Amino acid sequence: MSTITKPVNQKAWWLILPVIVCVSFSAIIPLMTVVNYSVQDILGPNQAVFVGTEWFASIMRDEDLHAALWRQLMFSGAVLAIELPLGVMLALSMPAKGWRASAVLVIISLSLLIPWNVVGTIWQIFGRTDIGLFGWALTQLGIDYSYVGNPVQAWLTVLLMDVWHWTPLVALLAYAGLQSIPEAYYQAASIDGASKWAVFRYIQLPKLRGVLMIAVLLRFMDSFMIYTEPFVLTGGGPGNSTTFLSQYLTQKAIGQFDMGPAAAFSLIYFLIILLFCFVLYNWMLRVGTGSREVHHD
């Protein structure tokens, strides 16, 4: 008995053609341009010499890059260590229903609506000891505070600024995850006499794992590419204390006009982010699958 195979309609590909064209112009073509610059020494208009991997080798020997990478890793790690638990705690304390829940959601989301450059300007004023509330309060407490003169205080101010700006994103994601938990789980926990910690450990936290994975990836990628806020607040100083990888790249490309090394580093930068996100996602996926298997057993 013969099997009749229906012809496959391929017209649906025309629907994604505009997306492919837009991605080509916004991502693929610029990426190919960067690749072209990374393997050539541009001497002038229509004058280029192929140098192979010379720019990659020279940029990897740059000690300023090593220092910027170390600062970036410390910053991204501190962001995740602070914003994730703080966002979950904030989501747990938010009202679940009623007008209070709506009001709190609006208030929580306000900082997310502020553009990045405005955030840097706000904290630039906020941290001043003469007119800024934060700087004035620390001065009144006897702390010699200066985010433009003290490298440690500058780094901590940038970290505090990022926590203020982006913790609400984690809180909103965690809040959405909490609202998706069926009421039957809480009823069963109440009948068993479970404590609040037991409810969080065995009901809420496992159900939040999916949204927390998204929060970790979003916050890592964004913090690893931070540029505007520290540039507006400190300009990368004092010294190089708040010069992260994105600003290092900008200094190479625009400040020094080293297009070859800058293009090589931008590709390395892209691969670093891609590698970290791939490893982080697979690790969290493996941990999540393992915990579900243990709980099932």
Report if residue 102 sits inside a domain: yes
pTM for this model (two decimals): 0.82
Which residues on adjacent β-strands are paired with residue 44? Answer: 47
State how far the Cα of 243 lies from the Cα of 253, in Å rounded to an integer.
15
**Selection from 263, 119, 284 nearest residue 208 by Cα:** 284
- Lowest mean pLDDT: which of 41-55, 75-89, 188-202, 207-221? 41-55
Residue 130 placed within a domain: yes
Q: CATH no. for residue 200?
A: 1.10.3720.10
For residues 78-85, average pLDDT? 94
Domain that holds residue 270: 52-292
Assess if residue 18 is contained within a domain: no
Per-residue pLDDT tens over the stretch 244-274? 988 888 888 887 777 888 888 888 888 888 8
Residue 82 counted as domain residue: yes
Domains held by the chain: number: 1
Residue 14 has pLDDT above 60, yes or no: yes
Q: Tens of pLDDT along 185-221?
A: 888 888 888 888 888 888 888 888 888 888 888 898 8
pLDDT score recorded for residue 292? 53
Confidence of residue 288 (pLDDT cuts 50, 70, 90): low
Nearest residue to 90 (alpha-carbon basis) of 185, 173, 157, 186 = 173
In a domain, 188, yes or no: yes
The average confidence (pLDDT) of the chain is 85
